[in-house]
């Protein structure tokens, strides 16, 4: 809820019903309610979905009848996209089955339009918002508890694997020195070395992910940070036939943990490189927007469907043969530790943009 009151989105194709809700909310606002209600009206399914996805609302009132489509369909789509504001379903009289289906689908409450009153509307909004807040807080707690448990398990396993892995890599290198570089045995051991290095990175990621992240901020020039990051990813980009491009428009100092932020940008750039077809460009765009410095990493890959956008941040979720699935969870952790925001945006043509927004004055 914003400082200026409750922002309500009404998705309703009937102008009279819009007028009714508007009048009732205006009455609530002018009848001593400590909160003011600001109503925005979406008269169609499509406009409703667009505004809901854009965000910025505290609660949504959703009509069942929406032209040729219906509110249940919209509710399903919104829940699938991870909508996290309460949606109150508005139906006609005697629609018990639909009301129950709406609750099963994820509606916070339902109200019959014939019985709408100032009090009932205000009460439903207030309760739905309070319930949603509690639900989100409980979910966040469960999530952090399960992450902590997973972190402890990971840390133990990773430590146990790390030492023998270092021994395998070191001893293999020693044996390699005594072999001709083009011998069959040497080629086999080169594969052992390559795979060991991959496992070492995996173990490193597991340890990184499992320990609490402490950031050490210092004043850093973000242009330099981006340039250094690009040089790390350059070789992998070339191997994949990808061009790397930078557009750097913000070069005043920002307080951040250089090593951590580099790591976050490397993970995003590597994902972009791995997702993009050869011959395309992965871009990093740096600019300032208000009190934030923005790093946009844009690729021309397959994109990420809305319903997958929560899943890709789960530890070990990967669709790659050699992926660990810790890249994005680590990015999220680093960005959170900087009090920043991590967003996924669709590009107008193809691919996605991962946006890291950091406060300039943390
Ligand atoms: N830019 C992107 N375009 C399309 N899909 C992406 C993109 N970035 C991430 N993904 C999807 O999210 C999944 C998880 O990404 P994440 O970086 O966490 O792990 P990974 O890249 O699979 O493995 P690694 O641990 O080596 O980074 C990827 O496997 C991929 O399916
Ligand atoms: Mg990755």
**What pLDDT is attached to residue 296?**
96
Predicted pLDDT of residue 33: 67
Give me the torsion for CA of 123, 125, 128, 134, rounded to 10°. -100
pLDDT at 150 (0 to 100): 83
Q: Is the pLDDT of residue 258 over 60?
A: yes
From 298, 312, 353, mutation site for ligand 1 pocket: most ligand atoms within 8 A of C-beta = 312
- Do 147 and 101 share a structural domain? no
Q: Check whether 3 has a pLDDT greater than 60.
A: no
146: CATH: 1.10.287
Distance between Cα 235 and ligand 1 center (Å): 19
The residues with which 353 forms a beta bridge, in sequence order, are: 298, 345
Do 206 and 223 lie in one domain? The reply is no
Domain assignment present for 41: yes
**Domain contains 132:** no
Q: Quote the pLDDT of residue 46.
A: 92
* 317 shares a domain with 253: yes
**Structure confidence at residue 362 as a pLDDT band (50, 70, 90):** low
Residue entry with tokens 């319903």: 307
- Asked if 247 and 285 touch (Cβ cutoff 8 Å), the reply is yes
Domain boundary among 185, 210, 235: 210
The whole-number average pLDDT for the span 35-46 is 92
Please write the tens of the pLDDT for every residue from 155-201: 888 889 999 999 999 999 999 999 998 999 999 999 999 999 989 98
Average pLDDT (331-349) is 92
Nearest CA to ligand 1 atom 12: 312
Residues 68-77: pLDDT tens digits?
Answer: 889 999 999 9
Mean pLDDT calculated for residue range 74-92: 89
Q: How far away, in angstroms, is 75 Cα from ligand 2 center? A: 32
- DSSP H or E segment with residue 59: strand 59-63
| pLDDT on residue 355 | 95
| Last residue of one domain, picked from the residues 116, 151, 169 | 116
- What CATH number is given to the structural domain containing 83? 3.40.50.2300
Q: How far is the CA of 342 from the centre of ligand 2 (A)?
A: 15
pLDDT tens column, 115-128: 899 999 999 999 99
d(CA 30, CA 18): 18
Residue 36 has pLDDT above 80, yes or no: yes
Residue 4's pLDDT band, with cuts at 50, 70 and 90, is low
Q: What pLDDT band is residue 131 in, cutting at 50, 70 and 90?
A: very high
> Which domain does 302 fall in, by range?
218-359
């Amino acid at each position: 809820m914003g400082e200026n009151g409750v922002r309500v989105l009404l998705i309703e194709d009937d102008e009279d019903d819009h007028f009714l809700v508007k009048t009732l909310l205006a009455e609530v606002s002018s009848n001593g309610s400590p909160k003011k209600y600001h109503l925005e009206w979406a008269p169609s399914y499509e406009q409703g979905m667009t505004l809901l996805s854009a965000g910025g609302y505290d609660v949504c009132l959703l009509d069942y009848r929406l032209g040729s489509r219906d509110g249940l369909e919209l509710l399903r789509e919104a829940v699938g996209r991870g909508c996290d504001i309460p949606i109150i379903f508005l139906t006609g009289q005697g629609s018990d089955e639909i009301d129950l289906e709406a609750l099963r689908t994820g509606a916070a409450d339902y109200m019959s339009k014939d019985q709408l009153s100032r009090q009932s509307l205000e009460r439903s909004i207030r309760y739905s918002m309070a319930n949603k807040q509690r639900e989100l807080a409980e979910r966040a707690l469960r999530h952090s508890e399960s992450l902590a448990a997973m972190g402890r398990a990971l840390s133990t396993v990773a430590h146990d694997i790390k030492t023998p892995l270092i021994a395998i890599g070191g001893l293999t290198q020693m044996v390699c020195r005594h072999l001709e570089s083009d011998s069959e045995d040497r080629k086999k051991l080169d594969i052992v070395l390559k795979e060991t290095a991959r496992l070492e990175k995996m173990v490193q990621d597991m340890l990184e992910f499992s320990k609490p992240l402490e950031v050490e901020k210092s004043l850093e020039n973000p242009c330099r940070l981006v340039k250094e990051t690009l040089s790390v990813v350059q070789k992998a980009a070339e191997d994949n036939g990808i061009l790397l491009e930078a557009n750097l428009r913000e070069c005043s100092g920002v307080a951040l943990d250089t090593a951590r932020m580099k790591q976050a940008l490397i993970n995003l750039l590597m994902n972009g490189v791995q997702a993009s077809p050869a011959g395309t460009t992965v871009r990093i765009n740096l600019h300032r927007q208000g009190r934030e410095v923005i790093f946009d990493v844009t690729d021309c890959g397959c994109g990420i469907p809305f319903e997958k956008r929560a899943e890709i941040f789960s530890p070990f979720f990967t669709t790659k043969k050699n992926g660990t699935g810790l890249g994005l969870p680590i990015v999220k952790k680093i960005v959170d530790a900087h009090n920043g925001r991590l967003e996924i945006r669709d590009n107008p043509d193809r691919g996605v943009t991962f946006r890291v927004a950091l406060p300039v004055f943390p």
